[in-house]
């Protein structure tokens, strides 16, 4: 996992160096540049596969006509390399495999890759600039036009700003976020002039034209009816794919660890590691806690680890750490993040880096595949999602956002989002919505930045496209059966986990954010809400309404704190970026 900056057009080398320095945390092991005819590439390397100098980037092909800058991993590079025997390899990296695959199969090479990746390839002969992002968008790509018209792409927003694009918030994105609680569902970012290349998309720049297209669409690989396999056949195939996905994601020349929350998904991951590596597996396991037994999941974690040899590292988030840590994390995120769970998660990557564990695996993706969220069980028996999407909070009965706290003129800027309905049933339409537009995109952005903050690579075994395609093809009663969510998944994983973990319900909240914000951190929250109002009171936010809702929240009249952290986020961003 690394970071890159690319500029199509003229740019001063000093500016490229400055932009590259802003993403040094993504790759502290090495840096490199390529300055060609009309192209400049900058790169920061986090060495994971082939730690030698042969992995230096930007990297070129045999005759120096193609140059690549690549962030992420293509896990099946060894298999692909065997299909590219007519090419000369100078390294053992997956990056060089991507480069030769592009030479061999052109843009169609993307469909052969299994991994998380974002890369740029410059063709010196054709003067074309090709950019691609993986199927689910695990790895980020942002793009913009600089004031003089140059096209710039980068792994993080801050690198684009360092090249001269003015920092100016996008009011439409902020209005949509504050009104509906949604973000990460489109190409828009929180910054004017900067767009995100969507997941599963590619971009080509040539002759002054920019062409963007979708190279992967999940629904095209899912049976629009239902999987005709028997339950036992589906279970066997899915289990084999789970093990293969985990096996592939252990390809690394540096130590690999596991994030274990105690929930079903991460426990399945640990069970799969045992199945793949054997009972003697001793990779490090990391768990975050807050010291509150109502939220910490240590009893379930201990059940999982009792029968293993894995060293267990407990990573504690203390309330007194939150003020400083929240500001620091905001600086790395560039856009609003997911609240205290993200802060707690950062403690894992901090500890992993201290111990020299540069790669971690986690369990993102199974809730969306197997209908794990509680609201999936309350869906109407119809196809249509007949009103604009709003953020849904697991375990909460109230709205996630407070649109009535917005100034009417500002609220009108918000863009309602109607999720596509590619399936004939509401359950799969909601699963698709969460996977493609809502939950997974924003979780991946939070997790990429928080892992990179500590120069560690996060891998997502359950975001293997083969798993998603098979799971979404399963009938609804294999996902929710007699009120039990993830029903078939629990059967698949039965021999991997203790009974208590298999039968445990999904626990909706990970941290005592709700309690801390109206308790020990009330003054801190109050300061940042008022800071947000000092910048945007009565232009974006209705000051009186916000203060009234904040008072009601502190009195315990709300069961979720999402909207409170929205206002805090606005305060954090305003202070850190000095924007108005």
Angle at 516 between CA 456 and CA 176, to 5 degrees: 70
Q: Cβ distance 425 to 383 under 8 Å? A: yes
Q: Cβ distance 304 to 501 under 8 Å? A: yes
Catalytic residue among 2, 315, 405, 573: 2
**Is 2 one of the annotated active-site residues of the chain?**
yes
Q: Cβ distance 474 to 228 under 8 Å? A: no
Strands 256-259 and 285-289: parallel
Cα separation values, 338 from 45, 172, 430, 569, Å: 27, 20, 21, 9
Q: Cβ distance 438 to 342 under 8 Å? A: no
Please, is 35 exposed, middle or buried when counting C-beta atoms within 10 Å of its C-beta (0-12, 13-18, 19+)? middle
Residue 18, number of CB atoms within 10 A of its CB: 16
Distance of CA 380 to the CA centre of its chain: 29
Q: d(Cα 324, Cα 334) in Å, to the nearest integer?
A: 16
Cα separation values, 348 from 8, 267, 304, Å: 38, 16, 18
Angle at 236 between CA 283 and CA 72, to 5 degrees: 45
Place of tokens 């600039």: 129
Q: d(Cα 408, Cα 415) in Å, to the nearest integer?
A: 14
Cα separation values, 490 from 191, 370, 475, 499, Å: 42, 10, 15, 10
Q: Is the dihedral of CA 238, 243, 246, 251 positive or negative?
A: negative
Q: Which residues pair with 165 in a beta bridge?
A: none
Half-sphere exposure of 296 (CA within 13 A, CB side): 15
Q: Which residues pair with 188 in a beta bridge?
A: 195
Q: d(Cα 217, Cα 72) in Å, to the nearest integer?
A: 20
Rounded to 10°, the helix 171-180/562-577 angle is: 160
Q: d(Cα 220, Cα 202) in Å, to the nearest integer?
A: 17
Distance from the first to the final alpha carbon of the chain: 34
CA nearest neighbour of 433 among 385, 379, 465, 492: 385
Q: Which are the contacts of 75, defined by CB distance < 8 A and separation ≥ 6?
A: 94, 114, 115, 248, 249, 251
Please, is 349 exposed, middle or buried when counting C-beta atoms within 10 Å of its C-beta (0-12, 13-18, 19+)? buried
Q: d(Cα 127, Cα 294) in Å, to the nearest integer?
A: 58
- Residues acting as catalytic residues: 2
């Amino acid at each position: 996992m690394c970071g890159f900056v690319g500029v199509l057009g003229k740019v001063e080398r000093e500016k490229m160096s400055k932009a590259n320095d802003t993403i040094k945390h993504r790759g502290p092991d090495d840096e490199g540049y390529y300055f060609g005819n009309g192209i400049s590439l900058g790169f920061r390397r986090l060495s994971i596969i082939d730690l030698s100098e042969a992995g230096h980037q930007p990297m070129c092909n045999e005759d120096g006509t193609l140059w690549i800058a690549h962030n992420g991993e293509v896990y099946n590079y060894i298999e692909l390399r065997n299909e590219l025997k007519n090419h000369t390899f100078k390294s053992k990296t997956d990056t060089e495999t991507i480069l030769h695959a592009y030479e061999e199969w052109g843009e169609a090479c993307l469909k052969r890759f299994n991994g998380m990746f974002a890369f740029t390839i410059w063709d010196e002969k054709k003067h074309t600039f090709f950019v691609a992002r993986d199927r689910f968008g695990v790895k980020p790509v942002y793009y913009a036009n600089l004031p003089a018209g140059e096209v710039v792409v980068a792994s993080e927003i801050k690198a684009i700003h360092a090249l001269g694009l003015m920092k100016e918030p996008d009011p439409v994105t902020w209005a949509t976020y504050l009104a509906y609680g949604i973000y990460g569902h489109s190409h828009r970012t929180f910054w004017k002039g900067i767009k995100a290349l969507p997941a599963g998309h590619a971009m080509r720049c040539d002759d002054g034209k920019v062409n963007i297209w979708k190279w992967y669409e999940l629904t095209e690989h899912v049976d629009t009816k239902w999987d005709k396999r028997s339950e036992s056949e589906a279970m066997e195939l899915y289990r084999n794919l789970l093990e293969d996905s985990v096996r592939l994601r252990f390809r690394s020349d540096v130590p690999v660890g596991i994030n274990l929350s105690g929930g079903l998904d991460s426990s399945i991951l640990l069970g799969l590691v045992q199945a793949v590596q054997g009972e003697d597996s001793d990779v490090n396991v990391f768990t975050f806690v807050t010291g509150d037994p109502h939220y910490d999941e240590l009893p379930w974690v201990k059940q999982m680890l009792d029968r293993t040899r894995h060293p267990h590292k407990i990573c504690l988030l203390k309330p007194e750490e939150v003020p400083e840590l929240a500001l620091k994390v905001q600086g790395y995120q560039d856009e609003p993040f997911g609240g205290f769970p993200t802060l707690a998660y950062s403690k894992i990557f901090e500890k992993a880096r201290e111990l020299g564990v540069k790669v971690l695996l986690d369990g993102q993706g199974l809730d969306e595949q197997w209908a794990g969220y509680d609201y999936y069980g309350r869906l109407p028996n119809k196809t249509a999602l007949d009103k604009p999407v709003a953020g849904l909070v697991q375990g909460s009965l109230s709205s996630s956002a407070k649109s009535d706290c917005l100034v009417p003129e500002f609220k009108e800027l918000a863009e309602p989002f109607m999720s596509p309905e590619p399936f004939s049933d509401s359950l799969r339409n909601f699963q698709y919505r969460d996977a493609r537009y809502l939950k997974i995109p924003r979780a991946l952005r939070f997790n990429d930045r928080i892992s990179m903050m500590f120069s560690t690579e996060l891998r997502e075994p359950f975001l293997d496209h083969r798993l998603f395609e098979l799971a979404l093809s399963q009938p609804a009663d294999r996902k929710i059966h007699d009120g039990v969510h993830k029903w078939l998944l629990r059967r698949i994983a039965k021999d991997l986990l203790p009974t208590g973990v298999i039968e445990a319900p999904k626990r909706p909240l990970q941290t005592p954010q709700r309690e801390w914000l109206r308790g020990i951190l009330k003054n801190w929250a109050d300061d940042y809400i008022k800071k947000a109002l000092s910048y945007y009171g009565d232009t974006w936010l209705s000051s009186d309404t916000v203060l009234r809702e904040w008072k009601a929240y502190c009195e315990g009249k709300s069961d979720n704190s999402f909207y409170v952290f929205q206002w805090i986020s606005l305060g954090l961003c305003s202070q850190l970026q000095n924007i108005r």
